[in-house]
Chain A
Amino acid sequence: MMNKTFMSFIVFVAGLLVFHNVVFPIFTPKEPGWILNRYVYYLAICAFLIIANIALRLKPPISLNALVVWMMGWYFYKYILYPPIPWTLFITYMMLWSIGTFLYISQDAETFREFRKPIVKTIVGDYKIARIVVFIALPCLVGWGTYQAIFPTFQEPVELRTVHPAPPATTKVHGKSYTLETARNPFRIDEQDNYKDSFPFLDVDKHEYMKNVTEGGTVFFENCHFCHGDQLNGLGMFSHVFNPTPANFIDPGTIAMLRESFLFWRVSKGGPGLPNESTPWSSAMPPWEEHLTTEEMWKVILFEYWYTGWHPRTFDTEESYVGQWEKEGKPAGAH
């Protein structure tokens, strides 16, 4: 009996070690598929434990079963569930899991008694070695825990900030007032997708649009790439220095969901122009109106959309800018 229990325990520990260190990496490739993913792996290890115990006719006692069930829950929340959950949630889940495990062992008087049996035997000394080990280990653990609790440790304070604050109704740049609701990029004179495969520099004489993109790109690579990066992914040479980190324009959560007028406001006013909830004191974004002309700022914005392939968010339902201009005439500044 004892031997079989011990065997079952060995199967569990060794199985978990082998699976976690050898099989788990195989099931967590860079691009998980239907078969090769972490949850399938988890089912596989559970299946292994059950099949191994049945095949070897181990019939583990209920206390060991309870331990394995509880440990497998812990393993799932700690290593399998992805993305990782915050520790507060982890604690909550484990509480529920522990209650579930307890319900399983106390489902009737017999299983509960069986579960208690090894514990009682350890306490009264029927299992001599186990008693010595447990009674020495537990006070040491308590002492160590107390030490950890008293030892002063300091974590840097967590600071939350609003990434995309609500823009103001109007903004004044170089003496001219812009209503953000209606402000348009004067250089968006055509559908950008027509120029997906055009060449900056080479096609400037052929297409006015590419001339604007090239000029915008030139401004970007003279000024912006230090932080926003040569790939516009927010990983420029200086990016690791700043906190908050520079925006990543490739990400679908930035310029892809913003309007060009919002960018114009951000570019012209920079960090100092942010409202308080966006920590204006730590944003390294310069107020570019101090360095660039209005036209240069609009051209940079045009370039950023062309380079990333995103389209600025618009609230026009049917008409592109161009269609609108045919009716109303071009705004000043558009060529």
Chain B
Amino acid sequence: MAFCLLASPVAAAEQPADPVKKDLLEKGKKVYFKRCVWCHGVEGGGDGPSADRLATRPRNFIQGTFKIRQTDSGELPLEEDLIRTVKNGLPGSAMPPWGEFLSEGEIVAVVNFVKTLIQDRSFDDEDDTVNVQDFGSNPWGTKEPYHLGIPQEAIDQGKEVFIKNKCFECHGGEGRGDGNPTMKDDWGFPIVAADWQQCWNFRGSRRHHFDPFNVVRTISTGLNGTPMPNFKDQITIEDRWKLAAFVNSLCPRKKIDKLTNKPVPDFLISSKYTEGKVVPKIDDPSWHIPDDDPKIKPWDEEFKDNPKKHYIAMAGQITRGKRNFDPQTDNLWVSSRWSAEDNAVYYLLEYHLRFMSTDPEYPDAVAMQWPAKLQDLFGAEKPYFIMGDSKKPVDIWKANLLVQDYNATNAPNDKGYALKGSVEEIVGHGFDALEKKEGGQVEIVDSIFKQGRVKVMLKRSLATEGEMDVQIPTESFIPVSFLQWSGRDKEKDEHMAISTWYYTILEPPLPKSLYYMPPIMAVVFIGLQGWLVWMTKRTRKMYDEGKVIRDIIPK
């Protein structure tokens, strides 16, 4: 990076890289060969046994390129950067947080051992200097855990920086990483841009997912080994914080599970009772639902009565048949309404997908899976959660989606792309016993693919004729699970993403008694109070007139 002329306001101090602590190597080697070798390989080439099945491949140490640093782009990291990465892991990848498992001493030792695996440069080379960057500090003083309260003005200015620097070319128009399908990392493996709307997957964000600092650091240092450059010289530090404010504003505030580092799934999907008919339009205000948890970031008054978005965690199907180790989608968001007048229930499914398939042979698809014979299930019993089993069948509503007039390399498109949808209804008695139903009851009433997000609205009547159709009673818990196929990744049949069993419930309308019972009870209680006053005063009077003698206290 010799051609970097210091244009940034904060000149970084140049210093030699942290030399290898030779006395720790033996201890570090023991840790490495017990804990790290399985992914990073015997020589640190990122080619351990697990590597080929990981979508974010383990880092190849040989060139000495590391993502999470305080040093300038292309430079070696500080030792403390590496220690922090080992301690905190890299969210969104397979690198776990070793700080909860190894001692401080073991981590320092293994980091020093890893430094010796680098072949193309050396931490002991005095000419290989590093410049530690000054990232400034959070101008708005926002607080953990959710960093709410960044002024809208800063976010808007940040958006201008985002447009001016063409961040959308890789990260997409709304930051879902849907900009560029052809990127490769330094080793020639395909790589995609980060999805800013899932900031819990940002590398180097553990325990502080919503902290704009993560973004500032990444913009300032770049991610070595990936197409992410640094913008230290193009964007001033003030503007970097504003850009971070914008990026940060896109990430929905959800409760994050400290153990798994992912949003907490909403195991109960409530379907909201709707007066009159449900409007079957995704754009309708009645379906406008913010991604945030309203308990964390309150919604605008006008959406207050809309249904919630429920978070469904998804993973690859690795149980049977052709296994899927790198699902393209790791969550869905589901919201639902039902109407007695329509006698129907509506489910709006949304998921992030960077690029869609244009191959009719491999359409994109998403499905809801139900117990086909709900009435025969006893207690907590359910069919096997993937495609059912021989005794307990499942009813699968599969929406096949083919995107229209679309090319993955297109520039961001505000309007989105229409989807040509068709529903397959399938009865599953197990992986190899799937039969298509004749004549379906489920409809796709609306769908769209916009800025890296697929939205599909399904509708079905509550009661149908089919023997293998799930019947949906109100006010009871019905098991439901989800399946998803990314066509561009050649996902098909059992090669898909799955969820575990969730529950859905059709909520009853609010009872009328809610409006008249509380005041009635309050009035009754006021009467009670009046009676109490009257009684107490009467007793006092009796004492005063000597009609009743007080209990005598022995002296």
- Partner-B contacts on A (CB < 8 A): 108-110, 113, 120, 123-125, 135, 138-140, 142-147, 150-152, 154-157, 159, 197, 199-202, 217-223, 225-226, 229-231, 233, 235-243, 250, 270-272, 276, 279-282, 284-287, 290-291, 307
Binary CB contact string for chain B from 511 to 530 against chain A (1 if under 8 A, 0 otherwise): 10110011101110110010
CB distance B101 to A139 under 8 Å?
no
Q: A143-B522, A222-B50, A272-B389 are in contact. List 9 more A-B contacts (CB 8 A).
A: A143-B521, A146-B521, A152-B511, A157-B380, A226-B316, A229-B96, A282-B382, A284-B385, A286-B318
Across the interface, B385 reaches (CB within 8 A) one of A154, A217, A281, namely: A281
Across the interface, B38 reaches (CB within 8 A) one of A140, A217, A240, A280, namely: A217
- Residue B94 interfacial (CB < 8 Å): yes
Across the interface, B392 reaches (CB within 8 A) one of A123, A157, A281, A287, namely: A281
The residues of B that contact A201 with a CB separation of less than 8 Å are: 33, 37, 42
Smallest beta-carbon distance B348→chain A, Å: 19
In the assembled complex, the Cα of A214 lies from the Cα of B34 at a distance in Å of 10
CB distance A147 to B518 under 8 Å?
yes
The residues of B that contact A284 with a CB separation of less than 8 Å are: 315, 319, 385, 500
CB distance A142 to B501 under 8 Å?
no
In the assembled complex, the Cα of A156 lies from the Cα of B521 at a distance in Å of 30
- Residue B190 interfacial (CB < 8 Å): no
Which 5 A/B pairs are nearest by Cβ-Cβ distance?
A: A238-B315, A240-B260, A143-B522, A221-B50, A143-B518
* Minimum CB distance partner of A150 in chain B: B514
* Minimum CB distance partner of A142 in chain B: B525
CB distance A200 to B34 under 8 Å?
yes
How many A-B residue contacts, CB cutoff 8 Å?
180
Across the interface, B316 reaches (CB within 8 A) one of A113, A144, A238, namely: A238
User: B interface, by DSSP: helix, strand, loop or mixed?
Assistant: loop
The residues of B that contact A223 with a CB separation of less than 8 Å are: 318
Across the interface, A159 reaches (CB within 8 A) one of B268, B380, B518, B532, namely: B380
In the assembled complex, the Cα of A271 lies from the Cα of B320 at a distance in Å of 12
CB distance A139 to B529 under 8 Å?
yes
CB distance A280 to B259 under 8 Å?
no
In the assembled complex, the Cα of A231 lies from the Cα of B35 at a distance in Å of 8
Across the interface, A240 reaches (CB within 8 A) one of B93, B265, B384, B385, namely: B265
CB distance A240 to B50 under 8 Å?
no
The residues of B that contact A238 with a CB separation of less than 8 Å are: 315-316, 318
CB distance B518 to A144 under 8 Å?
yes
CB distance A138 to B49 under 8 Å?
no
CB distance B267 to A156 under 8 Å?
yes
CB distance A109 to B98 under 8 Å?
no
The residues of B that contact A236 with a CB separation of less than 8 Å are: 94
In the assembled complex, the Cα of A157 lies from the Cα of B505 at a distance in Å of 11
CB distance B499 to A241 under 8 Å?
yes
Binary CB contact string for chain B from 466 to 480 against chain A (1 if under 8 A, 0 otherwise): 000000000001000
- Residue B262 interfacial (CB < 8 Å): yes
* Minimum CB distance partner of B41 in chain A: A201
Across the interface, B262 reaches (CB within 8 A) one of A120, A155, A240, A287, namely: A240
Can you name 24 A-B pairs with beta carbons within 8 Å? A124-B540, A139-B522, A139-B523, A146-B521, A146-B522, A147-B518, A152-B507, A156-B503, A157-B380, A201-B33, A222-B53, A230-B35, A231-B35, A231-B96, A235-B260, A240-B257, A241-B314, A242-B500, A243-B500, A270-B319, A271-B384, A280-B384, A281-B389, A284-B385
CB distance A123 to B533 under 8 Å?
yes
The residues of B that contact A233 with a CB separation of less than 8 Å are: 96, 101
CB distance A286 to B319 under 8 Å?
yes
In the complex, which residues 488-512 of chain B have their Cβ closer than 8 Å to any Cβ of chain A?
Answer: 498-501, 503, 505, 507-508, 510-511
In the assembled complex, the Cα of A113 lies from the Cα of B553 at a distance in Å of 10
Smallest beta-carbon distance A271→chain B, Å: 8
- Residue B181 interfacial (CB < 8 Å): no
